[in-house]
Amino acid sequence: MKSFDLFVSRFYQGLGFYPGRANQILRTTVACIIVVILSQTLQIPDLALSLIVVFFVTQTNIVVTKLTGLFFIISIALAVATSLLILKVTWDVPFLRILLASLVAFISLFMMRASKYGVIFYLVALIVIFSQSFVDVSSDSEEIIRNILWVWVAMSYAIAVTLIINALFLPSEPEKLLNKTVISQLKHIADLLTPDNELKRKENTLASIGQDLQSLYKLLQYTKSRDRLSSNDHTAQLAMVTMVSELRSLSCHFPVEIINQKSRETALRIKSVCEVMIASLKNQLEPLTPAAINTNAEDTTLREMAKVINNYDQNKKVSYDTHSNPKKKFSFFVPDAFSNKIYVTYALKTLLSALICYIFYTATDWFGIHTIMLTCLVVAQPGLGKTQRKITLRLLGAIAGSIAALIAIVFILPNLTTLFGLLLLSAPIFMFCSWVATGSENISYAGIQMLLTFSLAVLNGFTPVNDLTEVRDRIVGVILGIIIAGLIQTLIKPERNGEVLQLKLAGLMDLMKTSLSMKNAAEDKRGALMVSFKGCEDLATEIALEPTWMKAEGSHDGTCQKLQEILQQAKSMLISTDAVVLWCQQNAPVNPVVGCFIQQNVENLGVIVKRLKTGEKDDNMTLPDLPEGLSKEVSSMLTLLSDSIYSFWLLLHEI
């Protein structure tokens, strides 16, 4: 029940708007309408596939859209060529055809996990499996070849339409999205700095900070790869993103109540600076900071924020040599591609479920549910939590799409006689599905599945539909595929994410250790800590979604409760560690006695990292003695650091 409540909560959160979402919905809807017009006018079959391609290729900005389109063109060509070759070699030997198609699917599924370009091989597996259904429907080789080539045409021309719409008519440039995102985050920071806005500060979580920083870093990277800015403009942009990310990271230290009068005045001065920058960015002017903020605030966080803003003008003038960085060695495979047995197991389980579905629908002579095989490939994800989420989203999307198709076939289509009427019916569906599909990973696939189910039932022919068989077959195929794939993925060597979370937590603790030891002090690790914590929390959410029917009653809830305790303690450690780092930066050089105390805590963090990576429980941890003669504030800060690390270590020993 807790897992379901968590899923519903994440689903609702994913429906909110963010900078660029409305533009992406508009681009997707326009491209879908044009594809419908072309397919119906020129009678290009497989319209449902064309629409799905539009949804997948249309991304947040033009850089990712072009890259996705390129990957799709390569994978579709490779998949069609492979399918034709399999049919040519094995036409007279059905068993050999299935065997060869299974081999190609297995290699593709393995490469999906083992390669850094897994999307290419994933599409190859989907199309090769999908093409086998043509052979079962018809024995005419020419018709089968033509059907496979039409799949190539339907998907390729949809990619071309999508790229034209995204590049020429409604381009979404990453620098514009970055500008909107910076404005949005500056507004959020300004709200947090309002002294009486206690509710906003209570809602300011480490995970939300990590998510905001992730979006900033990604958009900055896309803007750089677009290479449309001059060196000076890029330097100014980098300085702005650096300043906003540091301010957003520091916001985790805000107290819920800002009581001290000097602190309130400083917070209001910093807020006014943020508002000036927002106005400048909205008017597309160079953001100008006012005179340096002189602060005597007792709050360490506000002093550091003032320092960050005061350094902005200086950072704009620094030239960054982007060509001096050594080029990373190209690698096609992930580091553990041939050593991690999980990748082979995943490919075998997914292929097994697809073959079971193939045997079922051919034995029952029910070819209308041939998408049962595709369901097995779609819902099979790395980790049981992701698989369970995909199963839920596919089922919800299929039900919603079937209801929409049922209403359209029974009540609306009998009254439509023109293409314009069909577009009036379809456009709202495209828009709604796009709205869901552009949400977070927790909801996005439901929109795509809804579109697929609706378009297969209503739009896949060239005449008005009056048969409900297609709607029935789609929902039956999805449900049966979900049952078979779910059982296979859960019962045969289930891929749980507990060990992966341990390694992610080890990485987070290692970052804390490096930050606390003051190595590379000039490098700001605060943002990296927030992003790493966000990754740990996302993985814990996936673990909470893992199926529980094979476990003892209440055991999964207990595991989830323990995970929440560990994450809460990790959050406390992160904030305490960063508070000490912040204090050390402002009070350098640090008292040697305090430095020794901090070093002992660094060593304790090393013990935790070793425990998480190796699983050994033999390491002992010594709680360091607090130095004497320190102020009450410093003593309290150092005590929180030491206690939070020791409490986390005790939690680990309970697992």
**Rounded Cα gap, residues 177 and 248, in angstroms:** 18
Tokens describing residue 645: 């690390």
- DSSP conformation class of 172: -
* Nearest in space to 380 (alpha carbons), one of 355, 410, 400, 354: 354
Region for residue 292 given its phi and psi (left: phi exceeds 0; alpha: psi -120 to 50; beta: otherwise): beta
Q: Which residue reads 């790229």 in tokens?
A: 163
pLDDT < 70 stretches in the chain: 1-15, 229-231, 285-292, 294-298, 315-328, 519-524, 548-557, 617-619, 655
DSSP bridge pairs for 115: 333
Q: Which residue reads 């299974």 in tokens?
A: 102
Q: How many CB atoms lie within 10 A of CB 412?
A: 15
| Span 190-226, pLDDT tens digits | 999 998 888 888 888 888 888 888 889 888 888 888 7
Quick check: 379 and 486 in contact, CB under 8 A? yes
Output b/e per residue, 606-639; b: 16+ Cβ within 10 A.
ebbbebbeeeeeeeebeebeebeebeeebeebbe
**Rounded Cα gap, residues 218 and 221, in angstroms:** 5
Confidence at residue 328, expressed as pLDDT on a 0 to 100 scale: 59
Q: What is the 3-state secondary structure (H, E, C) of 232-255?
A: HHHHHHHHHHHHHHHHHHHHHHCC
Q: Which long-range contacts does 104-108 make (Cβ < 8 Å, 24+ apart)? A: 104/128, 105/129, 105/351, 105/354, 106/347, 106/348, 106/351, 107/347
Confidence at residue 323, expressed as pLDDT on a 0 to 100 scale: 46
Question: Torsion angle of alpha carbons 240, 241, 243, 244, nearest 10°?
Answer: 110
Alpha-carbon separation of residue 546 from 1, 388, 498 (angstroms):
12, 6, 11
* Nearest in space to 482 (alpha carbons), one of 397, 403, 539: 397
Quick check: 503 and 612 in contact, CB under 8 A? yes
Treating both helix axes as pointing N-terminal to C-terminal, what angle do 469-491 and 384-407 enclose, rounded to 10 degrees? 170
Output b/e per residue, 462-490; b: 16+ Cβ within 10 A.
eeebeeeebbebbbbbbbbbbebbbebbb
Quick check: 252 and 325 in contact, CB under 8 A? no
Confidence at residue 322, expressed as pLDDT on a 0 to 100 scale: 47
Task: Look at the alpha carbons of 108, 113, 114, 117 in this order and tell me if their dihedral is positive or negative.
Answer: positive
Treating both helix axes as pointing N-terminal to C-terminal, what angle do 555-586 and 206-226 enclose, rounded to 10 degrees? 70
Q: In Å, how far from its chain's centre is CA 594?
A: 41
| Span 378-429, pLDDT tens digits | 898 888 888 988 999 999 999 999 999 999 999 999 988 899 999 999 999 9
Q: How many CB atoms lie within 10 A of CB 42?
A: 9
* Nearest in space to 135 (alpha carbons), one of 90, 78, 102: 90
Tokens describing residue 85: 């070759």
DSSP bridge pairs for 333: 115
Confidence at residue 47, expressed as pLDDT on a 0 to 100 scale: 93
Please name the residue ranges forming H helices in 165-197. Answer: 174-193
Q: Which residue reads 């476990």 in tokens?
A: 551
Please name the residue ranges forming H helices in 16-61. Answer: 21-42, 47-57
Q: In Å, how far from its chain's centre is CA 197?
A: 30
Contacts of residue 520, Cβ cutoff 8 Å, sequence gap at least 6: 514
φ, ψ for residue 41 (rounded to 5)? Answer: -75, -45
Treating both helix axes as pointing N-terminal to C-terminal, what angle do 47-57 and 419-437 enclose, rounded to 10 degrees? 40
Confidence at residue 555, expressed as pLDDT on a 0 to 100 scale: 61
- pTM: predicted TM-score of the whole model, two decimal places: 0.85
Q: In Å, how far from its chain's centre is CA 296?
A: 41
**Rounded Cα gap, residues 142 and 164, in angstroms:** 33
